């Protein structure tokens, strides 16, 4: 499961985005020319319109322009908090179908997407300039900022650089609501999880530190519940009837000494079960009955397995050998497609690249390549509605 600092990867969208950025630069220069001597004005808050096409995935391009370590000048200057906003949304849609009033100018390429697509099929990479991709959390340290897409592709959670808080976005309803208080760099560095329920109704933000807590927001009402004592969310079921969390989170991601205890909550934050698992974090199924993880069995045969755990007892439900390819590969799990299928990426051994993404049936172990995704969709990605056509 992707953590709050990294997700999953694709080449940049090319000339269309470059032209758009050039156009934005020209418009910006024109603004300065027409407003000589005026102080820079705050960026107006973006208010989206209704947008029906589901997001297949969000990504940060391979040719990211976000700077690396802070320069000496940046270290001496007041912290900016948000350093980069590079998230883009990959969408596919039919020309003229549904509402497409997202309110963002973006490049679009029509004319088909593969042999089974007509000239009315379009592909767009939408630059979401309001979504932070990197933040300065200390004087000389920066980190990636998460963005999440729901499995239906119609709901997104991200850190807004205009609002300086995490927001939940219902695309078809054109609703954008806060799901966290305003955060400075120090508070943003404490974020350990950002999650959306499969039906897009509930959003969660988890914080570590001396006062760990999980904030659960119902998007329709905007009402937020606070669950103190928990610092990571492993997933939210539909309607948030089940929430998998952890009480202990290491401040350093590479520190593996933290407790493996998993706690199950209901929507009111009441503990329904708690148990100690193995060396895994797991991802909660849409129905809240299982936690699943793709794991190597190092002590036995060096093969990869898909392991599911019963959320009431913590006992292993199934251990299925992953046979994604005929050649050796290293499997890494990401998220659920539905209550039966889980997304696994096949990686080449020793950092040799990706062999693509697979939908694995958690009951039978049968796998099928998700050809709509390609091998490497981006530098960092968050998956949404991964299948374009069945």
For the stretch 237-288, pLDDT in tens is 999 999 999 998 865 444 444 468 899 999 999 999 999 876 666 899 999 9
The Cβ of residue 280 has, within 10 Å, a number of other Cβ atoms equal to 18
Kindly state whether residues 139 and 228 are assigned to the same domain: no
Kindly state whether residues 154 and 250 are assigned to the same domain: no
Which of 156, 189, 222 is the last residue in one of the domains?
A: 189
Structure-token pair, residue 286: 């849409």
| Strand ranges for 247-362 from DSSP E | 261-265, 271-276, 283-284, 290-296, 304-310, 316-321, 330-336, 341-347, 354-361
Kindly state whether residues 21 and 87 are assigned to the same domain: yes
Kindly state whether residues 220 and 83 are assigned to the same domain: no
C-alpha 243/C-alpha 271 separation (Å) is 9
Which of 242, 276, 310 is the last residue in one of the domains?
A: 276
Looking at the structure of the chain, the number of domains it has is 3
In a domain, 286, yes or no: yes
Low-confidence ranges of the chain (pLDDT < 70): 1-44, 67-79, 106-118, 139-140, 250-259, 278-281, 297-301, 351-352, 389-390
Q: Which among 230, 220, 174 has a CA at the least distance from the CA of 199?
A: 220
In a domain, 96, yes or no: yes
Kindly state whether residues 4 and 137 are assigned to the same domain: yes
Helix extents (H) in 110-244: 185-188
C-alpha 182/C-alpha 139 separation (Å) is 19
Kindly state whether residues 268 and 290 are assigned to the same domain: no
Kindly state whether residues 130 and 24 are assigned to the same domain: yes
C-alpha 314/C-alpha 321 separation (Å) is 20
Buried b (16+ CB within 10 A) or exposed e, 56-82: bbbbbbeeeeeeeebeeebeeeebebb
Kindly state whether residues 184 and 98 are assigned to the same domain: yes
Kindly state whether residues 319 and 175 are assigned to the same domain: no
Kindly state whether residues 126 and 226 are assigned to the same domain: no
Kindly state whether residues 312 and 174 are assigned to the same domain: no
In a domain, 195, yes or no: no
- Enclosing domain of residue 135: 1-36+46-189
Which of 213, 248, 276 is the last residue in one of the domains?
A: 276
Output the pLDDT for position 205: 98
Output the pLDDT for position 103: 86
Q: For residue 75, which phi and psi values (nearest 5 degrees)?
A: -65, -35
In a domain, 194, yes or no: no
Structure-token pair, residue 245: 């969390």
C-alpha 360/C-alpha 188 separation (Å) is 34
Q: Are 282 and 292 in contact (CB under 8 A)?
A: yes
Output the pLDDT for position 36: 42
Kindly state whether residues 152 and 232 are assigned to the same domain: no
């Amino acid at each position: 499961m992707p953590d709050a600092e990294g997700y999953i990867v694709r080449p940049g969208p090319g000339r269309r985005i470059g032209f758009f950025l050039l156009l934005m630069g020209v418009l910006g220069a024109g603004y300065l020319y027409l407003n000589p001597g005026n102080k820079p004005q705050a960026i107006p808050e973006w208010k989206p319109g209704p947008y029906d096409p589901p997001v297949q995935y969000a990504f940060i391009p391979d040719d990211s322009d976000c700077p690396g370590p802070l320069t000496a000048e940046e270290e001496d200057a007041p912290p900016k908090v948000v350093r980069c906003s590079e998230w883009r949304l990959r969408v596919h849609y039919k020309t003229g179908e549904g509402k497409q009033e997202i309110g963002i100018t973006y490049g679009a390429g029509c004319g088909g997407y593969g042999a089974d697509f007509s000239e009315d099929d379009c592909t767009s990479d939408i630059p979401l300039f309001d979504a932070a991709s990197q933040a300065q959390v200390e004087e000389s340290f920066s980190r990636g900022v998460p963005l999440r897409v729901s499995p239906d592709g119609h709901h997104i959670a991200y850190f807004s650089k205009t609002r300086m808080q995490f927001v939940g976005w219902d695309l078809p309803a054109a609703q954008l609501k806060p799901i966290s208080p305003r955060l400075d760099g120090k508070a943003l560095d404490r974020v350990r999880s950002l999650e959306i329920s499969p039906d897009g109704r509930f959003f969660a933000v988890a914080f570590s530190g001396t006062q760990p807590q999980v904030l659960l927001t119902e998007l329709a009402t905007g009402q937020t519940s606070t669950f103190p004592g928990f610092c990571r969310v492993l997933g939210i079921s539909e309607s948030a009837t089940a929430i998998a969390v952890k009480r202990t989170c290491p401040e350093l991601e590479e520190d593996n000494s933290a407790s493996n205890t998993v706690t199950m909550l209901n929507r009111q934050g009441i503990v329904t079960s708690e148990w100690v698992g193995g060396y895994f974090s797991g991802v909660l199924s849409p129905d809240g009955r299982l936690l699943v993880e793709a794991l190597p069995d190092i002590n036995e045969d060096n093969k990869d397995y898909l392991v599911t755990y019963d959320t009431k007892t913590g006992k292993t439900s199934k251990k299925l050998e992953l046979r994604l390819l005929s050649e050796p590969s290293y499997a890494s799990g990401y998220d659920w497609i539905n209550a039966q299928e889980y997304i696994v990426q096949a990686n080449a051994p020793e950092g040799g690249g990706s062999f693509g993404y697979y939908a694995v049936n958690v009951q039978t172990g049968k796998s099928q390549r998700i050809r709509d995704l390609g091998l490497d969709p981006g530098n960092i990605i968050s998956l949404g509605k991964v299948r374009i056509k069945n």
